[in-house]
Structure formats: structure tokens, C-alpha cells
Structure 1
Amino acid sequence: MQSMALAVDKGSVELGPSLLGGVSLPAAVVHEGPLEHNLVWMQRFAEAHGARLAPHGKTTMTPALFHRQIQAGAWGITLATAPQCRAAFAHGITRLLMANQLVGQANMAIIASLIEQGATFYCVVDSQENVRQLGRFFAKRGLILPVLIEVGVPGGRCGCRTQQQILSLAGTIAEEPALSLAGLEGYEGVVHGADPEAGIRAYAKYLVDVAVELEAAKRFSEPEPIVTASGSAWYDLIAEAFEGAPLQGRFTAVLRPGCYVVHDHGLYRDAQSAVLARRPDLPDGLEPALEVFAQVQSLPEPGLAIIALGKRDIGHDQLPIALRRYRETGTPEQLLSVDGWEVTKIMDQHTFVRLPKEALDVEVGDIVAFGASHPCLTFDKWRQLLLVDNDLNVKEHLATYF
């Protein structure tokens, strides 16, 4: 008789089995209820602040989730590289914001092809040389490339460091017939210091002020140019700055958080707590939707459990957290305790858990749900994840395209 086990370690998926009795573990899992909550929550947040939402797709590189975001009202999808844009477009996403410089003729060719096929595409620029390279390439293809000037900070990542550099670059773009200046882009996550909140507020104001100045100088090619920023930690401060009077009705304000879609049990959980502390008027909050299910593999000595879960399976910039435990072939209601469980070490395919003295009922084969920090670093380990309902039954497989 053929086995009913469902292999999910980079293979194909049939639908229907339970995580507790029909799935080869470990498996990366997205919980449907929290996912739907997060989609609605962030879309409402953006709309309440007069902004559009272009979620950063690099978090998941999962077209099925992109489409859920679009269906919830997202304006477009943000990506980081030309191949990511190609993957998203191949799966029906037509408005692409590449929050990165487009460098190299091979990458330019990918984007030119997408534009020729009907994609609406934006990328960022921060140097005279890149502007000239793009101008030459897209002129030869007979295409117009919309670009956004990236506004950086000293000591940060990419982006123009001074207002004079921004104004000069706008002039150079105007000299390139194949380019159009569609707006400004920034990323506040590179702002650091003793008081990051104050620094980010100042950066957001600067971004808005420069946009208004360029508009007054008639540098933009579009009637409502784009002003965009926001990662997944400080989106509330960016939204507040964009909501101000200088942008209302004159610009298209675009927020770009990505991790919100599944949230997490670490970095962004803490960031969300800070958002809610700053904004007590906000209802509820985001909910963690991503977990990795794995089994107890060995109980080699008292107080130690080895889990069949490793760096190949789950993000580990912070150690995973044991959330819940089940008996294999049990039911979701039959929860077993993980109180006092402490993950102490993670290897390629093994996780070490220190057990409390009271943990006398742990058995080889027990199924443990783990939470992780920074969902990007879990998604990119899987060719597919499993969407499950409240009963832990598989409803859909979510293919990734990293």
C-alpha cells in the first residue's frame, strides 16, 4: 500500500493531510487565520494614512502570497533584484517597484523585456554613472525607464548623501530621453544612533521636504510622483510623515513593509510592540503566522532533546523558540507542555533543547512547533511552504521562487 506521508522537503505537495499525521517533517507552515488578519490589518493601516501599499516581496518570494496582498488592495509589489522582478511578473504581478539600483547589462535586459511585455516598473538611482548607463541601454531598446532617486544617509547603504547630489542627479536624468524621474525613494532602516526614533522622524521629514522642492522645480515627469519608504519596523513613523499636508493630493505615498504578512516571534514582534506603544490607537496588532514543525529525534541524556530541525530549515539569526508540542497522530486540541524548554544550539539539521526536570512526558516522535525571528531567513530555505487551517490540515502549497 502506498504511503500517505506528504514529503515537503523541496518536493511536490498533495493537499489535505494533517501536520500531525500525514506530513514529512520538518515543514515550514503558514497559518491561514493570522495570515488573513495581517493582510487586512496592514492594508487598512496604509489606507488610513492616505498611502498605497507595495509590500516587499523579497520577504517571501511566494507569488501566492503576492496575489493575496494584491487582492487585499496592495498597489504593487516591491522586489530587490531583476530576477525577483522577472519571477513576480511571470506569476502575474504587473506593477513592480525595485527598491534597488539596476546595474549590469544582463539585469537591464531582464527589465527591458518585462517592460516590453507590459510591466509597470520603477527602480532607484543614486549616481551619475548609473543614470548614463541606464539612459544608453534603454534608448537603444526604444523604451522609457521610470526611475526614483534614492535618498540615503551618511554611513548608510546606497542613496544620495546630500540635497545637492539629489538636485544634480535630477538634472542629469532630465538629460536622458530614455529616463523619466518618477519620484523619490528611501529606506529608514539604515538610520541609527542614540535616538533612532528621532533620527527616523528627521529622515522622513527630509525625504518629504526634498520631494516638495523637486516638485516646485518641476523636475518630476508624473503628475503625482511617488514618494516611498518604510520597512517592517518603523512604518508608522514614515506613514505619519507622508500623511502630512505637503504630500496630500500631490504625491503618491507608498509604504513597503514586507515581513508583516507573516510577522514573526523575534525581531518584528519586538518592533510591533514598539509601534503599538507609540500608537495606542491602533487596534490589535500583527499576528505571527509562520512556524516550522519538527519532531523530537532523540532523547540521548536526561534534560536534553535533539530536534530534527536545523539551519537548513529555519532562520537562526536568533535561536528558534519552542511554541507548542503535540503527540504524533494526535489532535490540535491535545497540547503538550513546552514550558521551560530552551533552545541552546542549532546545527545544520539538529536543534538542541534543554528540558526542565518536570518534562517527563517527552517522547521521540513528538511534534514541536517552532517560531523564528526575521521571516525572510526561513522562507528562503524552502521551495514550498504549507498553508494550514485551524485544525492543522494542509489547504494549499505555497511555492517560492528565490
Structure 2
Amino acid sequence: MQTTTLAMDKGGVELGSNLLSGVSLPAAVVHEGPLTHNVAWMQRFADAHGAYLAPHGKTTMAPALFQRQLQAGAWGITLATAPQCRAAYANGVTRLIMANQLVGQANMAIIASLLEQGATFYCVVDSQENVSQLGRFFAERGLTLAVLIEVGVPGGRCGCRSKQQILSLAEAIANEPALSLAGLEGYEGVVHGDNPETCVRAYAKQLVEVAVELEAAGRFSEANPMVTASGSAWYDVIAEAFDGAPLQGRFTPVLRPGCYVVHDHGLYREAQSAVLKRRPDLQQGLEPALEVFAQVQSLPEPELAIVALGKRDIGHDQFPIALQRFREGSELSHPLSVAGWEVTKLMDQHTFVRLPEAAQDVEVGDIVAFGASHPCLTFDKWRQLLLVDDKLNVKEHLATYF
């Protein structure tokens, strides 16, 4: 009998194994088909709007996925912290946007080391004090740090609250020889109001107008300064604003959505529905690629199943959704019903599922695929995810570096 040698990772999951037999569960899974679709879809979207794509890598912190995005045409990768930037650079990402303030000498030292190794790096600033700190540190290292002024909103997160603050900060940067003002940065996800779309459009318009004003004043140190924003909910509105005449040929517009790469079954599915309503011209939207597979652990009471899955395994901005069920060791072509299943409670490693009265075929050991909301908060619970094909065979181990 012919045998096949299977590669095994440190976690003990063999390449070629099938999720329905022989894989220790729970396991976080990325489906290759939807993943491939999403990576190509968002790149086409950015290209069609004359924008560059720098996906937010903090969503997955999976270098194997970074490489797929870069190979598809991404301009760079966005990160949230200095250690994340270090991990991305160590895994082949050379153009990095840190969409955060660089604070603390230990973090500055990490970035200085990356610059010395040849990385192209940008971070954001929103205060005179931080500008002075960065100016001193990088001058002492004999390095030049490219910075972006962050444009915030009242009641929001970080960022300058007024145009005057932005203009004053640009002047302060010009007085620091070790700093280079490379553009403006914003994040529309912190914009709220009674009419969110109107507010986001106004915010995007403000970004463009301030960028043009700073360019006219000669404040930027680069010929085509960057203007960047966009999470995974309003990327269409930001792209439309960036595609307008004031920026064309004069600026580098950069979109930074992150969650699109695997999408989800909750928050971003709802956001994508809104995008397609605003833009009916867009063909076939994003597809959910991330699921967590787990097994029924106990049936302690009528109409109650306890699944060996919990807050340590899956994001819980919203309760997970039961998508499919299989008998362990069965074929993919023989799914069992999850109609009427409702997650009612999530503990560290247990999920409470209310079963409909008609669910009489549920057995301990049944394998259930769950969809999550907000992929960032599922990825960061795993040191490894499994990339599977359409038959649920494991094709690749996706290591994470949180």
C-alpha cells in the first residue's frame, strides 16, 4: 500500500489532514477560496480608484497573509506598534506605516534599528511634545524619521482637533532636522454622528483640503506626499474622496483596510452590505474566510449543547454564529443541520447553544463551524491558523506574531 509523508508543524497538525478527522479542535481556519477572492477584490478596488493599498496587518499579524497581499500588488503594510513593525520587517515587509504615535525610547530604538537596516517607515504625530521627543532621539542616531500628521475629531481617539493645530504642528516638524513631514493620516472609524455617512464624507473632505493647503505652503518634504485613511467599513467613501481632482498627480493616496482579507460573519458583513448599497456598481463583494471549528462537548439538558469553544478561541464583539455541522469522521458532502441554533452565552472555553426542539440528532463529538465578528479579535487568540482548501484539507500553517 502506498503511503504519503505529511509535513507536521510544531503544533502537531499535519499538512493534508482533514478538519473532520484527525485535527485537534478547536482550530481557527482560513478558507483559501474566499481568502484569494478577497485579496484580489480589494486590490482591484484600490487600483480602480487610483489609490495604493497598505492593508492593516494588525488584523492578522500573519506574515504569510502579508505576502499574499504584497504579491497581489499592495504598496506596503500598516501596523499598530513598533514590535509589530519589527515582526513584519523580519518577515520580508520593507515598507511600513505605523498608524500610531511612536512613543517611548524603547519603541523609538526598535524603529531606529529598522531604518538602519533599510526599512521605509512612517509613523503619525499629533503633539508638539512628541515631535520634540522624536526629533531629539533620531537626531542623536543620525537618522531621518518620516512622519504623518494625524487628523482627529473632537471626542475621537488621537489626532489634531483643529486646522490651526495641524498647521502649528507642521511648523514644529519643519524645525526638527531629523524629521520629515511626509503627509497626513486619519482614521474615519472614530467619526460618529446622527448621519455617519455625511460625517465621514465631511472628514474625508477635510483631509484633502488640509493636505492641499499644506502643500501650497510648502510644508511637505516629499514631491508626492501621502494622504492616508480607511478602515474596513468606509473604504469606498474614503476612496471616492481621494480620487478627486485636488489629489490627482500631486499626492500619494493610500487606503489601509485590514479586516477585508478574511472578512467576517458579523460587524464587517453588515458594513459590506452598506458599501454595496452605496456602490451598486461594485460586483460581488467580500466573502467570509475565517471560521473556528469546535466540537460538541456535552448535552447536559434538553435543548442545550455545550461546545468546546470560548472567549479564548474566538472573537466575541458579537456572539459566534453556527454555520455548519458534521459528524466526526464523516464526509464534507454530508452536513447536518444547525437551523435554529442560537449561542446564548460564552465563557472562557465553553459556548452555550440553545437548540431547537427539532434538533434530535445532535451528538457529543459533532463538529461545528462557527463564524465570528471582528476578525482581529479571533486572530490574536491563535499562534497558528490553518489554511484549508474547499474539501477542508489543511494546506498551510499560518503563524501569527502578536
Normalised to the residue count of structure 1, the TM-score between the two structures is 0.97
Describe the SS at the equivalent of 2:199.
Answer: helix
1:179 alignment partner in structure 2: 179
1:97 and 2:97 matched: yes
Q: Is the 8 A contact 1:326 1:366 kept in 2?
A: yes
Describe the SS at the equivalent of 2:168.
Answer: helix
Describe the SS at the equivalent of 1:24.
Answer: coil
1:379 alignment partner in structure 2: 379
> For the residues of structure 2 that align with 1:59 and 1:7, how far apart are their CA atoms?
26
1:229 alignment partner in structure 2: 229
> For the residues of structure 1 that align with 2:155 and 2:360, how far apart are their CA atoms?
52
1:169 alignment partner in structure 2: 169
> For the residues of structure 2 that align with 1:257 and 1:12, how far apart are their CA atoms?
33
> For the residues of structure 2 that align with 1:203 and 1:300, how far apart are their CA atoms?
53
Q: Is the 8 A contact 1:313 1:349 kept in 2?
A: yes
Describe the SS at the equivalent of 1:363.
Answer: coil
Describe the SS at the equivalent of 2:107.
Answer: helix
1:352 and 2:352 matched: yes
CA RMSD of aligned residues (A): 1.4
Name the CA shift for 1:7/1:22 in 2 (closer, same or farther; >3 Å). Answer: farther
> For the residues of structure 1 that align with 2:144 and 2:16, how far apart are their CA atoms?
47
> For the residues of structure 2 that align with 1:299 and 1:6, how far apart are their CA atoms?
36
2:32 alignment partner in structure 1: 32
1:193 alignment partner in structure 2: 193
2:114 alignment partner in structure 1: 114
2:75 alignment partner in structure 1: 75
Describe the SS at the equivalent of 1:189.
Answer: helix
Describe the SS at the equivalent of 1:239.
Answer: helix
Amino acid at match of 1:366: D
Q: How much does 1:14 deviate?
A: 2.6
1:326 and 2:326 matched: yes
Spell out the pairing of 1:3-402 with structure 2 (5 A cutoff).
11-402=11-402
Describe the SS at the equivalent of 1:23.
Answer: coil
Describe the SS at the equivalent of 2:171.
Answer: helix
Normalised to the residue count of structure 2, the TM-score between the two structures is 0.97
Name the CA shift for 1:5/1:329 in 2 (closer, same or farther; >3 Å). Answer: farther
> For the residues of structure 2 that align with 1:6 and 1:249, how far apart are their CA atoms?
49
Q: How much does 1:317 deviate?
A: 1.4
Q: How much does 1:13 deviate?
A: 3.5
Amino acid at match of 1:155: G
Deviations 1:251-310 (A, max 9, x none): 000000000000000000000000000000000000000000000111111101110101
Amino acid at match of 1:144: T
Amino acid at match of 2:153: V
Amino acid at match of 1:11: G
Q: Is the 8 A contact 1:6 1:24 kept in 2?
A: no
Gaps of 5+ in 1: none
> For the residues of structure 2 that align with 1:287 and 1:241, how far apart are their CA atoms?
25
Name the CA shift for 1:51/1:290 in 2 (closer, same or farther; >3 Å). Answer: same
> For the residues of structure 2 that align with 1:314 and 1:288, how far apart are their CA atoms?
15
Q: How much does 1:5 deviate?
A: 12
Q: How much does 1:22 deviate?
A: 1.3
> For the residues of structure 2 that align with 1:190 and 1:375, how far apart are their CA atoms?
18
Q: Is the 8 A contact 1:264 1:373 kept in 2?
A: yes
> For the residues of structure 2 that align with 1:7 and 1:332, how far apart are their CA atoms?
23
Q: Is the 8 A contact 1:78 1:256 kept in 2?
A: yes
Amino acid at match of 2:114: L
Describe the SS at the equivalent of 1:281.
Answer: coil
Report the count of equivalent residues.
398
> For the residues of structure 2 that align with 1:266 and 1:305, how far apart are their CA atoms?
22
Name the CA shift for 1:270/1:208 in 2 (closer, same or farther; >3 Å). Answer: same
> For the residues of structure 2 that align with 1:303 and 1:196, how far apart are their CA atoms?
41
Identity across the alignment (%) = 83
Gaps of 5+ in 2: none
Describe the SS at the equivalent of 2:73.
Answer: coil
Q: Is the 8 A contact 1:7 1:24 kept in 2?
A: no
Deviations 1:162-192 (A, max 9, x none): 1011111101101111000000000001110
Amino acid at match of 1:293: F
Q: How much does 1:12 deviate?
A: 4.8
Amino acid at match of 1:286: L
Amino acid at match of 1:90: A
Q: How much does 1:340 deviate?
A: 0.4
Q: Is the 8 A contact 1:51 1:239 kept in 2?
A: yes
> For the residues of structure 2 that align with 1:372 and 1:128, how far apart are their CA atoms?
41
> For the residues of structure 2 that align with 1:375 and 1:117, how far apart are their CA atoms?
32
Q: Is the 8 A contact 1:326 1:367 kept in 2?
A: yes
Name the CA shift for 1:237/1:343 in 2 (closer, same or farther; >3 Å). Answer: same
Q: Is the 8 A contact 1:6 1:17 kept in 2?
A: no
